Chain A
Amino acid sequence: MNPVRKFRLYLALTLSLVMFGSNVYAQSDPTGTSAVTRTFAITNATLIAKPGSELKEATVVVKNGLIVNVGKNVTIPEDAEVIDATGLYIYPAFIDGMSNTGAKRPDNPQRPQNLFTPDPPNDYAGITPENSVVSQIDINSNTISNLRKVGFGISHAVPYGRMLPGSGSLLILNDAEHMDDILMAKDISLYSQFVGAPGAYPGNVLGIMAKFRNLYRNAELHKKHVELYAQNPSGMERPTNDRVSYAFHPVIAKDKAIMFDADDMLDVRRAIRLKNDLGFNIMVAGVKQGFYVIEDLKAANADVFLSLDLPNKPKDSKDDDKSEEVSRLEERRMEFYNMYVAQAADMEKAGIPFGFSARGASAGKIKTSVITYIENGLSEDAALAALTTNPASAFGISDIVGTVESGKMANLLVSTAPYFTKDSQIKMMFVDGDKHVYEVKEKKARKKSDSESTDEAPAAGGPFAAVLGTWSYTFEVPGQEQTGKMIIKMENGELSGVLTSTDGSPDENMNNINYRDGELTFSMSIDAGGQSVEIVVEGVIEGKEFDAEASVAAFNVSFPLKAVKDEDGK
């Protein structure tokens, strides 16, 4: 892509957030208000009301957003829309522990002219704990419907920013006219991350740790001052209206916990150091190296949310001549991969209740990650608890959600098979009593390609026959459509590929190409106006069609990418 074009794509990606907010992918009922009735009876299903339970031939009655009846022989209200769920499975809808759901990434604060780097303004330093994620939420963001589509009813949304971006809130993942309709609980956590300000204080984790302690200590003094002044202001200096300190007051009073995004174990330990120094209640989310810090998390009494953004399984070289040293190194790398994917099982063994956080994981990756955790030792019951009851109790909403029980909010997941099986698909979601229906795809393509590959000689690409060759793709960025060829080859036992463009721009390399079980994923990094933007493409190949979603994590948006395989590879 030439620079101008790249910039246009960049603009389009950014603008589309504002202009084309509604989900181009929406398969659910887009208006919500058109429902004839808000009473539903889902009958003859297998109900997993909570982890460890199962009831066959069950009926769940939903009325005005609530579950009003659950059981075998329940009376079906006359006004109910009856949904025959024979052969289907009902679960409580999932709860995400941390992500930027619905939030629009604000423009990076402009570097002020003549910035005094030792003491930048708070918004440049990233110290805005007085903010709320609510001010960043776009109710039309497709991240809300995308997360719902994969089984979630509630998300703990946290704001974008740096060290102290603001408070996180619980969002009900529904289509809404107004923010108020989907805001379940505002500002339930104070959110913090180890992200420094570019070229200003605090610039990295050294400054962040010190600044955090300093802010907290002063907030304690400020709180005391405010309380004394409230008792009797006479003869006392007026406390400053310090919004940063005020934001810490409920934390100091232990009415609110601080949630840290801490993916690696050193960040987890830093968060716990701060907790031990200062004494607040702590939540850690996005954890990827939990296996290193089990005892520490236990001792800190932390609420833990493990990341659903698992590392990709390392690909060992297929080279027959590879040296013994390379094999050894590959083996050790795999050892560590195995530790990452077993962290959930480790937590279960250690008796630490934990939830999951979806941040960083594309919607398509979420279920794969949960299943990977299960394949590596996590029990299905613990996995379901991590998706439902554990986060509900961490966020103090167990009375309202997390199980399918009479009196609770009607947040339900209806799937075509037991959820934790690979082939299960979500057929329906109920969120706050609203029904969302999804198209169930028939998975016959795989069998077909299996038989094809057995017919052909193994030399023709073996298990990768389905992807190798030349494809014609269309990338639908709103207001602009890009077309070209996607050429995938096998070189030295590795998949490699490029995307060409019909407008004559240079080719883009496809990175991290992965093909497994009919799913093709790859990434590209494009230079958009001096900024490198990472695009992750994930999709399903069925026969000669590739149906994918290209997501740009940096802008929290995704666009469809479709491709058709050319005949004869031409």
Chain B
Amino acid sequence: MKKMKNIFTLLLCLLSTLALAQKPKGDVLFKNGTVLTITNGELENTDVLIRDGKISKIGKDLRAPKGVEVVDISGKFLMPGIIDAHSHIAGSAINEGTSQVTSEVSMEDVVNPLDVQIYRALAGGVTSIHLMHGSANVIGGQNETMKLRYGTTNPDDLRFEGAPRTIKFALGENPTRGGRARGIQPQSRMGVENMIRSSFTQAVAYEKKWEAYNKDTNPRKVAPEYDLRMQTLVDIMNGDIIVHCHSYRADEIYMLMKVFSDFDIPTIVFQHANEAYKVAPELAAFGASASVFADWWAYKLEVYYSTAYNATILQENGVLTSINSDSGELIRHLFHEAAKTQKYGNLSNDAALAMITLNPAKQLGIADRVGSIEEGKDADIAVFDAHPLSIYAIPQMTYIDGVKYFDINNDKSDQRIFINPESSIDEVQLFEKMDYRHRCMEGTAQFFGANLFKHKH
């Protein structure tokens, strides 16, 4: 009955025209696979029991409780679902690039559950993404951490409930390009630093005004102006929001750490960070972390220098490091990207896989829930036919909260959950150039008057 119920729940979810009040949770027993735990090595011939969406037991010869579906994974590899710390899929908009400080905007308002790229990411073993605001402005919008529960039409069903708030900052060429095009600050790296410092300084004053107002016992007191932008900056300084900063050069990375020290902001995650290896000890000392590409650089001047050893050097220097996609295409084979750290740096299997699981989970503040196969964690799981660090590995099944969202044996040719009735059929092709278009500067073309399609990050 329970199995029937599960299937029914999943069906409902896939065909849903109704908002599901509760997110579906599954029960399943994975039998006899190689379990890549990340935190406790690789366990052969091991079973993993999922109850009510959580990993309830890891061990040998587990018995399926009544009604729990058994999935035989003999010869297969089970790992925690992949987490992409930098993604722009499933967003109706990416940049509010018209202002250089937009801390008040939030990607939670633009989650698009209908984007078929969500399914394609699931087919690459990805279970969570960090939907980020773009890099057109110095202080961009707040990001949204999501679970890829594809099949619903309600954006709320995709939220990673309880995940901490995060926000996007950006340094270097992208925000200064916008500033120069519009004739406003910042037009140089100096301006970027100044803009961050002056924004936080204003936020300090804003907080003081409101503190004074709240303390005032006069019943006829008049409130100061409310400013969601300033309030968000106050929340950053109070440590309630994790900053994820688009950055490339070592000097700008070092600059931001100095600024954050001055304003007592406890941590930063540097995104891209192609030159982070040059300041690895400083990052470690600060407690900052990095989310990088495996081997991708030289696509514009400020990213001229980097190395495929970046991730390893950072890791070996004690910097928490993850590897991200920032792309609707790369997201489908992040396990290949992680494997590159073995070619370039000889990382252990656990350390290499942690780059796309536990480490991004820590950077997003969700490591107590996901990122490794441990009892008590969410049953967000990817199953491969070979070791995921092998170039021959193909993802087989992907589960979130114990519910299956991808199965290679049930992979329909048309997985869209929405079709515009006025679209023409020839628009519908498997290969979409869109996936290769990078969205980090989307919506800003009008300022540059140039074709941005070739632009990368």
A residues sitting closer than 8 Å to B (CB atoms) are 114, 116-119, 197-207, 209-211, 213-214, 217-218, 221, 224-225, 228, 232, 235-237, 265-266, 269-270, 273, 291-296, 311-314, 317, 325-326, 328-330, 332-337, 339-340
Residues of A within 8 A of B96 (CB): 201-204, 206-207, 210
Max chain B Cβ within 10 angstroms of own Cβ: one of A118, A205, A335: A118
B223 engages A224 (CB within 8 Å):
yes
Residues of B within 8 A of A340 (CB): 421
A205 to B37 Cα, complex, angstroms: 41
Smallest CB separation, A93 vs chain B (Å): 31
A332 to B418 Cα, complex, angstroms: 9
Q: Is B182 an interface residue (CB 8 A)?
A: yes
A329 engages B414 (CB within 8 Å):
yes
Residues of B within 8 A of A269 (CB): 154-155
23 contacts between A and B (CB under 8 A): A114-B183, A117-B99, A201-B102, A202-B96, A202-B98, A203-B443, A206-B105, A206-B106, A206-B141, A207-B102, A207-B105, A210-B102, A214-B226, A225-B222, A236-B222, A237-B222, A269-B154, A292-B17, A292-B153, A296-B19, A326-B425, A332-B414, A336-B419
Q: Which of B101, B109, B182, B226 makes the CB contact (< 8 A) with A221?
A: B226
Q: Is B100 an interface residue (CB 8 A)?
A: yes
Smallest CB separation, A510 vs chain B (Å): 16
A217 engages B226 (CB within 8 Å):
yes
A317 engages B425 (CB within 8 Å):
yes
- With both beta carbons as reference points, the residue of chain B lying nearest to A219 in the complex is identified as B226
Smallest CB separation, A1 vs chain B (Å): 26
A236 to B413 Cα, complex, angstroms: 68
Q: Which of A198, A203, A209, A218 makes the CB contact (< 8 A) with B97?
A: A203
A209 engages B421 (CB within 8 Å):
no
A336 to B153 Cα, complex, angstroms: 14
A311 engages B422 (CB within 8 Å):
yes
A-B pairs with beta carbons under 8 A, tally: 140
Smallest CB separation, A272 vs chain B (Å): 11
- With both beta carbons as reference points, the residue of chain B lying nearest to A213 in the complex is identified as B228
Residues of B within 8 A of A339 (CB): 17
B residues sitting closer than 8 Å to A (CB atoms) are 17-19, 92-93, 95-102, 104-107, 109-110, 112, 133, 141, 153-155, 182-184, 220, 222-223, 225-229, 413-414, 416, 418-423, 425, 428, 443, 446-447
Residues of A within 8 A of B428 (CB): 329
A335 to B418 Cα, complex, angstroms: 10
A209 engages B109 (CB within 8 Å):
yes
Q: Which of B98, B106, B421, B422 makes the CB contact (< 8 A) with A117?
A: B98
Q: Which 10 A-B pairs have the closest CB atoms?
A: A118-B99, A337-B421, A203-B98, A206-B96, A210-B104, A207-B96, A209-B109, A206-B105, A201-B98, A217-B226
Given contacts A200-B98, A214-B226, A214-B228, contact A206 B109 (CB under 8 A): yes
Residues of A within 8 A of B182 (CB): 117
B226 engages A218 (CB within 8 Å):
yes
Given contacts A206-B110, A292-B153, contact A218 B422 (CB under 8 A): no
A201 to B443 Cα, complex, angstroms: 12
A314 engages B421 (CB within 8 Å):
yes
Max chain A Cβ within 10 angstroms of own Cβ: one of B112, B229, B416, B422: B422
A335 engages B419 (CB within 8 Å):
yes
A205 engages B425 (CB within 8 Å):
no
Smallest CB separation, A125 vs chain B (Å): 10
A221 engages B17 (CB within 8 Å):
no
Smallest CB separation, B298 vs chain A (Å): 31
B184 engages A311 (CB within 8 Å):
no
- With both beta carbons as reference points, the residue of chain B lying nearest to A211 in the complex is identified as B104
A294 engages B18 (CB within 8 Å):
yes
Q: Which of B95, B110, B425 makes the CB contact (< 8 A) with A329?
A: B425
A118 engages B101 (CB within 8 Å):
yes
Smallest CB separation, A321 vs chain B (Å): 14
Residues of A within 8 A of B105 (CB): 206-207, 209-210
Q: Which of B155, B228, B447 makes the CB contact (< 8 A) with A217?
A: B228
Smallest CB separation, A173 vs chain B (Å): 30
Residues of A within 8 A of B153 (CB): 265, 292
Residues of A within 8 A of B418 (CB): 336
Smallest CB separation, A219 vs chain B (Å): 10
Residues of A within 8 A of B413 (CB): 325, 328
Residues of B within 8 A of A213 (CB): 104, 228
A333 engages B446 (CB within 8 Å):
no
A333 engages B425 (CB within 8 Å):
yes
B420 engages A336 (CB within 8 Å):
yes
A221 to B223 Cα, complex, angstroms: 7
A119 engages B222 (CB within 8 Å):
no
A213 to B228 Cα, complex, angstroms: 8
A211 to B106 Cα, complex, angstroms: 11
Q: Kindly list 10 other residue pairs between chains A and B, CB separation below 8 angstroms, not including A118-B99, A210-B141, A237-B222.
A: A204-B95, A206-B106, A211-B104, A214-B226, A221-B226, A236-B222, A265-B153, A266-B92, A312-B421, A332-B414
